[in-house]
Amino acid sequence: MTALPVLLALLVPMVTGSAAAPVQPSDEHLAGGSEAVELSGQEHHEHGAGERSDCTAWLFEQPWASPGQWPSLLLLSTILLALSAGILLVTGRHLRR
């Protein structure tokens, strides 16, 4: 029975998206801080390579860059493998009858 809360705790972040929440730009970023270079107008910035910002959020939200999602992926894969084994077992047993 203890497995259920653990399962939910791992899967819920994937469903609700809390593990991959949109990156909120910092105050410093919005104010055009020291790391940002203003090009034209207030919305245009340039960031250093590999730096996380509102413009690069899509990159850092990808699964390879979101270690928070990995346990869920692992759990999901395990469930799918178990499900496959179950289907094969039940089908095989059904055919033997």
Partner 1 sequence: MRRILAFSGMTVRMLARRRTIWGVCALTALALLGIGLIPSYGVASSGWFVLDLGMSAMELGGLVLAIGLGAGIFPRDRETRILLPLLAVPLSRGGYISGRFLGGAFVQIAMTLLWAVALMIVMLARGLPVPGGFLVSCALLGIEGCFLLSVVVALGFRVSPPLNAPLTFLGFIICSLGRQDFISLLPGAPGAMGLLWTALPHMAVFHVKDAIMHGFRVPPGFVLLAVLYGVSYTLLTLSLAYASFSRRDLR
**Least distance (Å) from partner 1 to the CB of residue 69?**
9
Give the 3-state secondary structure of residue 70: helix
Site for partner 1 in 12-51 (CB under 8 A): 14-17, 20, 49-50
**Least distance (Å) from partner 1 to the CB of residue 31?**
26
CA pseudo-torsion sign 79, 83, 89, 92? negative
Place of tokens 């034209």: 40
The answer to whether 8 and 76 are in contact (CB under 8 A) is no
**Least distance (Å) from partner 1 to the CB of residue 62?**
6
Place of tokens 């009858």: 97
Q: Is 63 in the site for partner 1 (CB under 8 A)?
A: yes
Helix runs in the chain, H state only: 3-16, 27-30, 57-60, 70-96
Q: How many residues bind partner 1 (CB under 8 A)?
A: 31
Q: Which residues here bind partner 1, judged by CB under 8 A?
A: 11, 14-17, 20, 49-50, 59, 61-65, 67, 70, 73-74, 76-78, 80-81, 83-84, 87-88, 90-91, 94-95
